[in-house]
Amino acid sequence: MTADLLIRAARAVTGGAGEAERPLAVGVTGGRVTAVEPLSGSRLGGRDVLELGPDTVLMPGLADSHVHVCEPGNTGWEGFATATRAAAAGGITTLVDMPLDSVPATVSAGALQVKRKAADGQCHVDVGFWGGVIPGNGPELAPLADAGVAGFKCFLADSGSPGLPPVSPRQLTEALRVVAGLDRPLLVHAESAEAAAAIGAASGRSYATYLATCPRGLENLAVAQVIEAARVTGGHAHIVHLSSSDALPMIASARREGVRITAETCPHYLALAAEEIGDGETACKCAPPIREAGNRELLWAGLRDRVLGLVVSDHSPCTEAMKEPGTGDFGRAWGGIASLQLSLPVVWTQARARGFGLGDVAAWMAAAPARLAGLTAKGRIAAGYDADFCVLAPDEPFVVEERQLHHKHPATTPYIGRRLYGVVRASILRGQTIDLGHPHGQLLGRGAA
């Protein structure tokens, strides 16, 4: 067999959980993987050959299913050109855009069309879209599904976006019943609005004070509500950006009982710790918040036990001014972590220190997010899948500098100055090395390659 492209990798992982690195030959024709063989003895040929030595690892291109691209409407925060350029530079070849922080929010088929039009021709990686669930838009959900959204997202607390107001627990159950009939997951921002209202909002420069206004109980109560909604409807509920490790036993118990509940966490919850965040360091503000080091280690245990299945960025960008660098006021600062380009090295730096391998990382950051979004040809290196790859130098360290980053506002990330491991040497989309000067990403629908 002579492929369009033959990749000969001394070290490779294909996206299976717990998979060890091994030497592989991968054939690519027409933008798809056509063959995967042990490197030793392989007779695969290619018109073009990419030979990867022992200092690099061939991985599936990552799929980030939790990215806020703010275009149209708030393109000054982040747009498709900058977000997808950052993604490609970080080994991410597919992302799925959240339905809020753009104007209009993606809560109707018409709004989805506006967003797709804004993205068209700008994307350096493939892009899919989530739809939004808000009070009263039940009739819009089937048209959104027909238009190709990967699934739906709702909030149980204030989203910070007027276009995506929260739903009540009763409305959550109603929406999950509808979404179950559409064979889509419902992603839930699980914090209790009622409990949060009783505590009140944060103010001032103290991170400890901010953290006290967002206790684990806000998440724990909301996660319990989501579990019971999934139990009575049979729908697939997915907890986004889980921060509270207290919720892990609840999720594990519900899953043993047959409830369709999954959960993700994010690089910042796995790498940062509340004890290390200084007063006024508003680049670290997010909701739910970054918690204590002990909580962080229990999240890592949740990944090891496979209660948590995904690690995704929750890239939530904003302008530098929105982070209140002058006042350092956590109450006034925008809540979101900018990390899209750095997700892989942040997670790998922490994972390698805890005995995990790149096979685990590929399972968390490529295969599982693609599966959640119904992108059946993404996230694995296997025959029939899109030829999307990340070429990583896992043992190469670097110090994060603003000038390296392609985010629209690189100074807002909390990782500036940190020493990380894992340099992305190339990102390959459907068999072509991504050129950051020439976007050729596609807009995807659920089930699409």
- Read off the pLDDT of residues 181-190 as tens digits, 9 standing for 90 and up: 999 999 999 9
Domains and CATH numbers, the chain: 2-54 (2.30.40.10), 61-373+400-416 (3.20.20.140)
**Among 402, 405, 292, which Cα is nearest to 342's?**
405
Whether the CB-CB separation of 15 and 362 falls below 8 Å is answered with yes
Alpha-carbon span 7 to 391, nearest angstrom: 11
**Among 155, 162, 102, 101, which Cα is nearest to 133's?**
155
Annotate 209-242 with b (16+ C-beta within 10 A) or e (fewer).
ebbebbbbebbbbbbbbbbbbbbebebbbbbbbb
Q: At which residue do the structure tokens 């901010």 appear? A: 210
What pTM did the predictor assign? Answer: 0.97
Mean pLDDT by 10 residues, the chain (449 residues): 94 93 98 97 95 98 98 98 98 98 97 98 98 97 97 95 96 98 98 94 94 97 98 98 98 98 98 98 98 98 98 98 97 96 98 98 98 97 98 98 97 97 98 96 80
CA atoms within 13 A on the CB side of 15: 24
> What distance lies between CA 15 and its chain's CA centroid?
16
Token pair for 145: 């599904």
User: What ranges make up the beta strands (E) of 68-194?
Assistant: 92-97, 126-129, 131-132, 152-155, 186-189
Whether the CB-CB separation of 63 and 95 falls below 8 Å is answered with yes
The predicted pLDDT at position 17 comes to 81
Q: Are strands 22-29 and 32-38 parallel, antiparallel or unpaired?
A: antiparallel
> What distance lies between CA 328 and its chain's CA centroid?
27
Q: Residue 353, exposed/middle/buried by CB under 10 A (0-12, 13-18, 19+)?
A: exposed
Handedness of CA 351, 85, 436, 414 (dihedral sign): negative
Whether the CB-CB separation of 178 and 144 falls below 8 Å is answered with no
Decide: helix, strand or coil at residue 224: helix
